[in-house]
Amino acid sequence: MRETAEAKTASELTRARLLDAAREVFSQRGFQGATVREICRRAEANGAAVNYHFGSKDGLLAEALNFAPLAALQKANANESPRTRLRLFIRDFMLMLLDENNPSSQCRIMARELADPTPALDKIVREAIAPLHEFLGLLVREILDDSGGGKKVGAAEQRRCVYSILGQCLFYRHSHPVLQRLHHKLRYDHEEIVAIAEHIVEFSLAGIKHLSKK
Amino acid sequence: MRETAEAKTASELTRARLLDAAREVFSQRGFQGATVREICRRAEANGAAVNYHFGSKDGLLAEALNFAPLAALQKANANESPRTRLRLFIRDFMLMLLDENNPSSQCRIMARELADPTPALDKIVREAIAPLHEFLGLLVREILDDSGGGKKVGAAEQRRCVYSILGQCLFYRHSHPVLQRLHHKLRYDHEEIVAIAEHIVEFSLAGIKHLSKK
DNA sequence: AAGTGTATCAAACGCGTGTTTGAAAGTAAA
DNA sequence: TTTACTTTCAAACACGCGTTTGATACACTT
């Protein structure tokens, strides 16, 4: 039965290699910019392998996506205070977004697709982004209530706070090519990412608190 | 001589039509997503017109860009207070970014190119984005000094404040496809854009002030 | 009216893309 | 070993892209 297992995993190994290569290339070049040929080359597979194993480039993207790491971020630290949960979430989210060594390229793939709709975007929005927005919305609401300003903050403003937080986070990934040209010594090492996250937390908490007290 | 003038402007008219169509298509589909054929179709010109008049698709983009409107935003209201100048800038910037009826599609074109380097990106960064960052950096510095907190705020934190502001602004354009799916009744009319700008101003001023006082 | 340079046009070119094909190699069961 | 099925492979296909070409129409000069 050793041959059976080996044969089975032989096919599954190329599948896995294709998925790994796809995640890498998609996160670096985006879905449009990535080519099936480059993915196959990196996976040391034949050019027809993608269509054989996944049907199409779209199918490969669909299987390459994995929303679990992002969802895990939201479930962690449930017993901490809202502010602490926001702080920890932003730190880990930024590490996913910016740290090339982070094993979860999912966020980097998704971030690239935000502006350029893909057949997979509907699924991404439904299964990853909508829950993320809801999670942050609840967190912002808790912090608003906690801040104890008498001001009643409406749903629209609460939503805009979520957008402000996500906008700050995504900016560093989205505008990376520009920031590199502006600031040649730029490099996202672990220390720098944590400092960025800390800035976003402080900046955002002040913004939220201000809204509740105005 | 009437015929001469007509003949001369006949060519210049197609040039102008091509530029208009190019700005429209580039801002809607991005440089990569835009096709020469669609631009020519919208301009009611022949498929070879772009290469005849501008040499290449790249050349068309280079001529379609115009940094004056963005620069004008920075020079206006020079005698107002730093906070007011920030408020007015963000409002007009958001109107450029989000209002499809705004005659200046430049910002919308540039925003699409941020993430996807184009041969023109170096020029865009040098002539438009770098001055913009410097402008906002000075404004943030003035507001920090004005806030009178004894805390000395370093250049890195000042820069991150600029990133926080721009990140919030660009998020609405960058993530528009996602926000539409999340929130189906979303529409950027004038009133909504102004409300968004106002939120970003309040949120950001609180964040900046917090940094200076911490 | 003939000549000259410019602008437009339909058609095609060269290239890269995702995908398909049919044969060859490999693997498991009979 | 033979048979049936799965996986790999080089090659080609169909398509869309930016671009080029050579003919044609046009406006202006001589």
- Shortest CA gap B210–chain A (Å): 6
Q: Which nucleotide lies nearest residue B15, CA to C1'?
A: C7
For the CA atoms of B90, B96, B98, B99, the dihedral, rounded to the nearest 10 degrees, stands at: 120
Residue ranges of B 49-108 with Cβ closer than 8 A to chain A: none
Question: Is CATH 1.10.110.30 the classification given to domain B68-213?
Answer: no
Residues 18-57 of A with CB under 7 A from strand C: 34-37, 47-48, 50-51, 55-57
Q: What is the mean pLDDT of residues A24-31?
A: 96
Overall fold of domain B2-64: Arc Repressor Mutant, subunit A (1.10.10)
Q: Which tens digits make up the pLDDT trace of B191-207?
A: 999 999 999 999 999 99
- Cα separation, A55 vs A53, in Å, equals 6
Say whether pLDDT at B2 is over 50: no
- Residue A58 CA, nucleotide C9 C1', distance (Å): 38
B181: amino acid identity, one letter: R
Residue ranges of B 7-46 with Cβ closer than 8 A to chain A: 30, 32-33
Q: Which tens digits make up the pLDDT trace of B49-75?
A: 999 999 999 999 999 999 999 999 999
Copy the structure tokens of residue B36: 């020469």
Q: In sequence order, which residues have a C-beta less than 8 Å from that of residue B9 and are 6 or more positions away?
A: none
Closest of A59, A68, A54, A62 to residue A15, by C-alpha: A54
Binary contact (A163, B171; C-beta < 8 A): yes
- Residue B117 CA, nucleotide D11 C1', distance (Å): 34
For the CA atoms of B104, A174, A92, A119, the dihedral, rounded to the nearest 10 degrees, stands at: 100
Binary contact (B171, A172; C-beta < 8 A): no
Say whether pLDDT at B6 is over 90: no
pLDDT of residue B8: 55
The b-or-e profile of A44-69 (16+ CB within 10 A means b, else e) is: ebeeebbeebbeebeebbbebbebeb
- Cα separation, A69 vs A92, in Å, equals 10
pLDDT of residue B208: 97
Rounded to the nearest integer, the mean pLDDT of chain B is 92
- Cα separation, B34 vs B155, in Å, equals 39
Whether residue B71 contacts residue B129, with contact meaning beta carbons closer than 8 Å, is answered with: no
Closest of A61, A67, A119 to residue A96, by C-alpha: A67
Residue B48 beta carbon within 7 A of nucleic strand C: yes
Phi, psi angles (nearest 5°) of residue B23? -60, -40
Copy the structure tokens of residue A106: 């999912």
Whether residue A134 contacts residue B134, with contact meaning beta carbons closer than 8 Å, is answered with: no
Residue ranges matching CATH 1.10.357.10 in chain B: 68-213
pLDDT of residue A152: 83
Binary contact (A178, B209; C-beta < 8 A): no
Other C-beta atoms closer than 10 Å to the C-beta of A119 total 13
| Cα atoms in the 13 Å half-sphere on the side-chain side of A60 | 30
E runs forming strands in chain A: none
Say whether pLDDT at B90 is over 60: yes
Binary contact (A160, B30; C-beta < 8 A): no
Residue B40 beta carbon within 7 A of nucleic strand C: no
At A213, the pLDDT band (50, 70, 90 cuts) reads: confident
pLDDT of residue A147: 81
| Sole residue written with tokens 């979303």 | B186
CA closest to A177 among chain B residues: B115
Residue ranges matching CATH 1.10.10.60 in chain B: 2-64
Copy the structure tokens of residue A197: 């996250």
Copy the structure tokens of residue A27: 């996160």
